[in-house]
């Protein structure tokens, strides 16, 4: 058993958490480059939280420019045990209108230009992404949305697109044929990297619009997205507070805490010291510089 320390990744429209007590912005450096912003550390009741705005305060970072490796590395260095991500999304299903919240359980990754792993340049690992989110965290997140007064659906497939442009109608209709429910630009490779960092991860999607698959609808317009995003933000903040309040007093171990036990392929004696120095926060539980060459 251990204490919870929850990393919160805030998506579009969520750039701070008003409910945090003893809040302070802290800069944490990463060997993977600059993260999106400093982290806002504080607590809600007895639960410690570390908040990171995915696009930076003021929303100055485009989806393809987010340094997801640095973001996850910084949360790991901050001592986070789990990550709850919030993200604005488009809907690919009629029954998921703007204003709904969706707890995602599967992904299809269509991003093409983003570094998607910590493991290269001398240390190889293959983690399983068959079940890419933490079921315990996801159930708690869904209950928190309900407690916050938001309509929520548990379970959905998220299509991660490169962006920053929105879909063509042909693409949007293709994704529906694939069985996708929602679409966004930021959850990948974020979810993959969280798994590599042994951080249980859950994603709450906040629907801002219908994607452009509907014949009778106009194309997606940013001003409409922003209006809905602002309406969603209040429920998102209340969700975080409800989530923290509902956590068990002690955190039981998760199988995700030790996924690297079954994922590292490289002989520890063959790992370059430079690789271990860069990966100290990610693999320090399993390896250290004494193992390296």
pLDDT (tens digit per residue) in 48-89: 999 999 999 989 999 999 999 999 999 999 999 999 999 999
Known catalytic membership, residue 209: yes
Pairing assessment for the beta strands 39-44 and 21-26 based on DSSP bridges: antiparallel
Nearest of 188, 195, 194 to residue 160 by alpha carbon: 188
Predicted pLDDT at 293 = 53
pLDDT (tens digit per residue) in 93-144: 999 999 999 999 999 999 999 999 999 989 999 999 999 999 999 999 999 9
Predicted pLDDT at 218 = 63
Burial class (CB in 10 A: 0-12, 13-18, 19+), 78: middle
Q: Binning pLDDT at 50, 70 and 90, where does residue 292 land?
A: low
pLDDT (tens digit per residue) in 224-278: 777 877 777 889 999 999 999 999 999 999 999 999 999 999 998 899 999 999 9
Known catalytic membership, residue 267: no
Structural domains in the chain, CATH included, are 5-291 (3.40.50.1580)
Nearest of 76, 81, 72, 129 to residue 105 by alpha carbon: 129
Q: Which of 209, 223, 261, 267 is catalytic?
A: 209
The tokens for 18 are 């008003």
C-alpha count within 13 angstroms, C-beta hemisphere, residue 200: 21
* Global confidence as pTM: 0.95
**For 291, which DSSP code?**
G
Predicted pLDDT at 137 = 98
Please check the confidence at residue 180 and state whether its pLDDT lies above 80.
yes
Predicted pLDDT at 11 = 76
Helix (H) or strand (E) holding 185: none
Predicted pLDDT at 289 = 58
Predicted pLDDT at 215 = 81
Predicted pLDDT at 145 = 97
Gap between the Cα atoms of 100 and 115, Å rounded: 31
Q: Which of 82, 211, 215, 223 is catalytic?
A: 211
Which residues are 39's β-sheet partners?
Answer: 26
Q: Binning pLDDT at 50, 70 and 90, where does residue 219 land?
A: low
Please check the confidence at residue 18 and state whether its pLDDT lies above 90.
no
Gap between the Cα atoms of 9 and 6, Å rounded: 10
pLDDT (tens digit per residue) in 136-169: 999 999 999 999 999 999 999 999 999 999 999 9
């Amino acid at each position: 058993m251990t204490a919870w320390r929850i990393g919160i990744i805030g998506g579009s429209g969520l750039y701070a958490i008003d409910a945090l007590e003893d809040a302070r912005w802290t800069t944490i450096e990463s060997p993977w480059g600059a993260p999106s912003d400093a982290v806002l550390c504080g607590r809600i009741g007895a639960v410690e939280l570390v908040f990171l705005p995915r696009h930076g305060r003021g929303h100055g970072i485009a989806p393809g420019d987010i340094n997801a490796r640095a973001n996850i590395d910084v949360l790991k260095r901050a001592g986070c045990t789990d990550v709850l991500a919030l993200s604005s999304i488009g809907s690919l299903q009629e029954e998921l209108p703007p204003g709904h919240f969706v707890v995602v359980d599967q992904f299809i990754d269509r991003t093409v230009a983003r570094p998607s792993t910590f493991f290269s340049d001398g240390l190889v690992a293959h983690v399983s992404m068959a079940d890419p989110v933490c079921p315990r965290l996801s159930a708690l997140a869904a209950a928190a949305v309900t407690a916050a007064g938001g309509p929520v659906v548990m379970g959905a497939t998220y299509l991660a697109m490169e962006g920053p442009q929105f879909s063509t109608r042909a693409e949007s209709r293709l994704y529906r044929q694939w069985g996708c429910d929602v679409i966004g630009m930021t959850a990948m490779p974020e979810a993959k990297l969280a798994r590599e960092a042994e951080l249980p991860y859950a994603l709450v999607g906040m629907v801002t619009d219908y994607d452009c698959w509907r014949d009778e609808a106009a194309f997606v317009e940013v001003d409409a997205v922003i209006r809905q995003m602002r309406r969603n933000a209040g429920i998102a903040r209340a969700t975080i507070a409800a989530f923290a309040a509902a956590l068990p007093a002690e955190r039981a171990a998760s199988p995700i805490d030790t996924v690297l036990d079954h994922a590292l392929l490289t002989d520890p004696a063959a790992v370059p010291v430079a690789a271990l120095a860069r990966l100290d926060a990610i693999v320090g539980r399993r390896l250290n510089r004494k193992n390296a060459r």
